[in-house]
A and B are shown apart, each in its own frame.
Chain A
Amino acid sequence: MPSEQARTELQEQVATIGREAGAKAVAVAYFDYETRSEWELDGDRWFHAASTIKVPVLLGVFGAVHREEIALQSRVHVRNRFTSKVGGGPYRIDGDRDANSKVYQHLGQTMKVNELAFHMIVTSSNLATNLLVDLVGVEAIRRSLEELEVTGVDLVRGVEDEAAFREGINNRVTARGMISVLRPIEEGTAYSVELSARMLEILHQQEFRSGIPAGVPDGARVANKTGEISTVAHDAAIVYLPERRKPYVVVVLTEWESGGTGRSDTIARISRAVYRHLTGNGR
């Protein structure tokens, strides 16, 4: 288990990295299965969730599958029209801003729940996310999170709801909250071993790798989900190192002035610091 001195050193390193990069705020948390130790820096500070909220949504979708309300093979009509949390007016996902275009190609057709879940996580499709949130429902997802004893996650709406954003009604997460999201998936307690394994399999196929994965050795396997809007950049991951060692869960949440640069690199540097702290490598 890392010593108290090592933890203090990590805290100083993270603070220095954030300060040098010009971040407005940085929160970090980890849980290490090898040493059964945990640590956090501002772990209970709330941040706009950006796309990290898609992992709690994934838990909610699989909760509905577990309750047999839907199946992973269930077909969902792909439609780009959603109802705002504020005023109830319609809004659409901006296809030019969304990270994925494959879901748009199915407008008017159907896609399976597992296909939408894949695109929601792996390519961070906002359209897939809102289709799943609409299908399962915000309240049902929240209930699933409560059942799994997830804390530090406040899901209130779908993504790209600009009217809600202007009113300050946003999905929020804390670093410790995202740890509580990822741990049941890794531990096989998110409904069942099989369903947890399916979620982990999706997370492992992540295409956005410039945050936490960039801070660990090349041979490491990382199941992660990033999140980024103009003022925040996050990554939440389960890291499996090549050496004979149990994995660790790590979450890095950062807040910036709009247009701030070097955000992914900052997350990668913090990831590297956590890796060195936990393994003693490269110190």
Chain B
Amino acid sequence: MRIDFPLRMVDGLRLKEEYREVLRPGELVRGRDGRLRRLPRWFYEIPNWRVALKTRLSPHFVLWELIDVDVREHVLLRTAWPRYVPCAVTLLAAHLELLRAAVDTYVHVAANGGYRSPRHALATHASTHCWGTAANLYRIGDDDLDDKATITRYHETITRVMPGVYLRPYGAGVGEADDHIHLDLGFTVVVPHGAAGEAKEAPEPASETETAGVGAP
């Protein structure tokens, strides 16, 4: 299958101020664990909804599914065009394609379940949704993902085909999910070929202690 990819890459730091205020390219935000994370700088520009509807990121995942948001998103990303999505969304689609192949049925990404801007009302911390690397799934095929047995079964499938993917544990607590599956690729940033180089001076190394394993996204 031929994948059309008509999107233009843009440097978030060069966008109009109104967009920079919403997308906050390259800014530091704090996670639930208190650690600082740097938001993506490079985005794909989506000129209109028609393009979002027809742009395939992988054989079974179309761009619109990963930018579908509700009234809680900032008004600029609901009512105006163009819109922007971090370049890492292509990696997310590729991973979802692996899951799609393993389950051999539809994988439904929920509204608010793909990219959310840092100004989204649900983005109260450094959520991987703001990196375009997270997906919330409420249904796979005819299975509603709203009970422990079903969620655990699909967790096992996801872990088998994508062992590096983070899965929010089943549960009702903070950082857990009991009515959907949250999977993500961590705070992954994609810098496409053709992107401008980094500044010569390297940033100061982080002083926070690194720990093994993954924390709550």
Contacts and interface: CB of A to CB of B under 8 A. Distances in A.
Q: Among B70, B72, B144, find the residue whose CB has the most chain A CB atoms closer than 10 A.
A: B70
Interface size, A (range): 10 to 19
Contacts of A70: 71
Interface stretch (A13-21, A29-37, A102-110): A102-110
Instruction: Give the interface SS of chain B, mostly helix, strand, loop or mixed.
Output: loop
Given A76-B71, A107-B139, A107-B144, A90 B178 contact: yes
A81 interface: yes
B179 to A, nearest CB: 5
Contact of A108 (B71, B113, B172, B178): B113
Contacts of A79: 110, 138, 179
Nearest to B179: A81
Contacts of A113: 71
Interface in B60-114: 68-72, 78, 108, 110-113
A23 B137 CA distance: 48
Contacts of B139: 107-108
A108 B180 contact: yes
Given A75-B111, A77-B112, A89-B172, A110 B179 contact: no
A80 interface: yes
Interface in A69-124: 70, 74-81, 89-90, 92, 107-110, 113
Interface string B138-177: 1100001010000000000000000000000000100000
Contacts of B179: 79-81, 92
Contacts of A135: 71
B140 to A, nearest CB: 11
Given A90-B172, A108-B111, A110-B111, A76 B70 contact: yes
B153 to A, nearest CB: 18
Contact of A107 (B71, B72, B112, B138): B138
22 contacts: A74-B70, A74-B71, A75-B70, A75-B78, A77-B70, A77-B72, A77-B112, A78-B111, A79-B110, A81-B178, A81-B179, A90-B178, A92-B179, A107-B139, A108-B111, A108-B113, A108-B136, A108-B138, A108-B180, A109-B111, A110-B70, A113-B71
Interface of A: 70, 74-81, 89-90, 92, 107-110, 113, 135
